[in-house]
Amino acid sequence: MSETFQSIGVRSRTAEALTAAGYETPNPVQQDAIPQLLRGCDCVIDAPTGSGKTLAYVVPMVERLAGHGGHGARALILVPTRELATQVAGVIRKVDRGLRTAVLMGGVGYGAQLTLLRNAPDVIVACPGRLLDLAERGDARLGKIEYLVLDEADEMLDQGFAHDVERILGMCPVTGAHATRQSILASATMPEWVQQMIAKHLQHPVRVKGVQSQEPLLEHGMMAVRGDMKLKTLSRLLHRQRDLEQSQTIVFHRTKHGAKKLARDLLQLGHTAAELQGNLSQNARDRAISAFRKQDAEVLVATNVAARGIDVANVGLVVNYELPETPQWLTHRVGRTARNGAEGKAITFLSDQDAEQWRKLRKQGAPALPKLDGERLLEAGEWIMTETLDEPRNSRFSGPQSQQRRRPSRWQGRPFQSRDRRSHTTPS
C-alpha cells in the first residue's frame, strides 16, 4: 500500500489542500524528508531538479506555522532566481492560502514589495541580493525567523551569492524567543561551499538523498553538427517536434545576445519562439514563461537563467545549442525535461569549435554521451543511439557515424516523442 500525506504525519487539513492541488501521494523524496522535518530536524535534501523537494520543505513549514501569525515573518526561503522565487510562492499558496507570503526579487520596483513587508508576512521567499538590500535598509526584518530554507544552494554559489547568503544568515537568530531555528538546505550538487554551509549552519542534519527509483526516463545524446549548420539543424528538429502531442522544447544558448538572436532567427524561420535571458525585465520574463506554459510558443530560447526553477509540464526536448560552462549546468539544463515520471530527451550539439570545451567539461566530470544518428533522427524521426569513444581523438566531427558502432537504444524504432506518465504534478 502506497504512503499518503496523512500516513507520514501531515494533518488532514493540509492533506486535503494537497489533494485539491493535485498532489495525491508523496514521492520518495517527500516520504523521506517530510517526517524528519515535522519532527523539527535540520535537513539536507540532496536531490536533482524535478525530484519534488520544494513540496518536501513547504509542507512541514505550513504545518509548523499553522496559519497567519501577524507578528512578523517566521519563515525565510532563499532561492537563486526570480523564476524559482515565483514558483515556490505559488506552491505555498496551493498548500495554504491563509499564509501571507512576500516575494522579494530584483528586476522589479520596490513599491509592491515594501507593501508586502508592511502587511506582516508569515513567509519571505527571496533572492539574496534584493533581500539583503531591504534588510540593510530596515524594511525586511529577519529577527523572528524560525524556519530557514536555502534552496538550490549550489546555484547561489554559482551566481556569486555566497557572501550575501552568509550575511543574511547572520541576521537570522539561531534560537528565538519561542523556538530554535530549523534549517533546511536543498541542492542538486554538493560543492565545497555548500558542504561548508551545512557544517556551519545546520545542527546534526538528517540527510535525504534523491534516489532513482525506476528506469531513467531521460535519453541524452550528442549530435555532431557543423557550426554553420546549427540553426538549420535546430529548425529541422523543431519541425519534427511540431506535430507531436507534447512538443515543448527548451533551447539553451550560452549568451544573452546569442539567445536573443537565435529566438529572432527561429521566428523568421516560422517557429513560435520566446526568449528568456537576463537582460529582460521581470515583466518580459514572466510573459515569455507564460507563453511557453500556455503553448503559445513552441520553443523557449534561454540562457542558464531557465535551467533552475522553471517547471513546465510538457517539455519533451532540451537542446544544448551551445555547451554550458560547467558540468553542473549541463545537469541543470537537461533537468528541465523527464520530470516527475515523464519521459524526455536531450540533445547536445557538438561542432568542431566545441571540441576543446567538451574535453574541458569531461575532465570536470561531465558524463560521456552516446552519439545520435543525426540523419535518421532528422529524416525519419528515429532516435538511434550509437556508441563512440569517451572523447574525440581530434576536433574533426565528420558526422554521427564516425568511429562508432551501433547499439540498441530503449527508443530504437520508436517515434521521436515523449509520453507523460504522471498522475499528478510535483514541483521541483
pLDDT in tens, 382-391: 889 886 544 4
- Based on the fold, state whether residues 43 and 188 are members of the same structural domain: yes
- Based on the fold, state whether residues 258 and 400 are members of the same structural domain: yes
Q: 177, 235, 194, 225: which is closest to 358 by C-alpha?
A: 225
Asked if 336 and 250 count as a contact pair (C-beta separation under 8 A), the reply is yes
d(CA 273, CA 261): 11
Q: Supply the range of the domain harboring residue 85.
A: 6-209
Residue-wise pLDDT for 173-190, tens only, equals: 887 555 689 999 998 888
Beta strand residue intervals within 97-217, DSSP E? 101-104, 123-126, 147-151, 182-187, 206-209
Give the β-pairing of 273-276 and 405-406. unpaired
- Based on the fold, state whether residues 197 and 224 are members of the same structural domain: no
Long-range contacts of 56-59 (CB under 8 A, 24+ apart): 56/29, 56/30, 56/186, 56/208, 57/33, 57/149, 57/151, 57/184, 57/186, 58/88, 58/91, 58/92, 58/95, 59/5, 59/10, 59/14, 59/18, 59/30, 59/34, 59/95
What's the whole-number mean pLDDT along residues 274-289? 88
Q: How confident is the model at residue 151 (pLDDT cuts 50, 70, 90)?
A: very high
What does the pLDDT read at residue 413? 42
- Based on the fold, state whether residues 248 and 194 are members of the same structural domain: no
Asked if 52 and 340 count as a contact pair (C-beta separation under 8 A), the reply is yes
What does the pLDDT read at residue 107? 84
What's the whole-number mean pLDDT along residues 120-143? 96
Tell me the percentage of the chain whose pLDDT exceeds 90. Answer: 61
d(CA 182, CA 201): 10
| Burial grade of 87 (CB within 10 A; 0-12, 13-18, 19 or more) | buried
What does the pLDDT read at residue 406? 42
- Based on the fold, state whether residues 39 and 139 are members of the same structural domain: yes
Give the β-pairing of 248-252 and 371-372. unpaired
Asked if 381 and 316 count as a contact pair (C-beta separation under 8 A), the reply is no
Task: Report phi then psi at 415, rounded to 5.
Answer: -65, 160
What's the whole-number mean pLDDT along residues 211-224? 75
d(CA 289, CA 347): 22
Q: Does the pLDDT of residue 418 top 80, yes or no?
A: no
Q: Which is more confidently placed, 412 or 324?
A: 324
Measured CA distances, 267 to 230, 274, 275, 407 (Å): 15, 9, 11, 37
In a domain, 237, yes or no: yes
What does the pLDDT read at residue 1? 57
The secondary element (H helix, E strand) that includes residue 77 is strand 75-78
- Based on the fold, state whether residues 119 and 62 are members of the same structural domain: yes
Mean pLDDT over the full length of the chain: 85
In a domain, 12, yes or no: yes
d(CA 287, CA 242): 21
Asked if 224 and 347 count as a contact pair (C-beta separation under 8 A), the reply is no
Q: Does the pLDDT of residue 427 top 60, yes or no?
A: no
The number of folded domains in the chain is 2
Q: How confident is the model at residue 395 (pLDDT cuts 50, 70, 90)?
A: very low
- Based on the fold, state whether residues 327 and 369 are members of the same structural domain: yes
**Neighbour order of strands in the sheet with 405-406:** 273-276, 299-302, 248-252, 315-320, 344-350, 218-224, 371-372, 385-387, 405-406
What's the gap between Cα 160 and its chain centre?
Answer: 18
What does the pLDDT read at residue 402? 38
d(CA 284, CA 146): 35
Asked if 14 and 94 count as a contact pair (C-beta separation under 8 A), the reply is no
Residue-wise pLDDT for 225-279, tens only, equals: 999 999 999 999 998 888 666 568 999 999 999 999 999 999 999 999 999 998 8
Q: Does the pLDDT of residue 285 top 60, yes or no?
A: yes
What's the whole-number mean pLDDT along residues 291-319? 85
- Based on the fold, state whether residues 122 and 147 are members of the same structural domain: yes
Asked if 13 and 99 count as a contact pair (C-beta separation under 8 A), the reply is no
- Based on the fold, state whether residues 149 and 190 are members of the same structural domain: yes
What's the whole-number mean pLDDT along residues 38-59? 91
| Burial grade of 385 (CB within 10 A; 0-12, 13-18, 19 or more) | buried
Q: How confident is the model at residue 110 (pLDDT cuts 50, 70, 90)?
A: very high
d(CA 185, CA 98): 25
Residues forming beta bridges with residue 344, ordered by sequence position? 218
- Based on the fold, state whether residues 257 and 306 are members of the same structural domain: yes
In a domain, 181, yes or no: yes
What does the pLDDT read at residue 217? 79
- Based on the fold, state whether residues 314 and 394 are members of the same structural domain: yes
Q: 353, 348, 291, 278: which is closest to 317 by C-alpha?
A: 348
Q: Does the pLDDT of residue 4 top 90, yes or no?
A: yes
Kindly report whether the global pTM for this prediction surpasses the value 0.75: no
* 3-state secondary structure (DSSP) of residue 116: helix
| CATH of residue 169 | 3.40.50.300
In a domain, 1, yes or no: no
In a domain, 422, yes or no: no
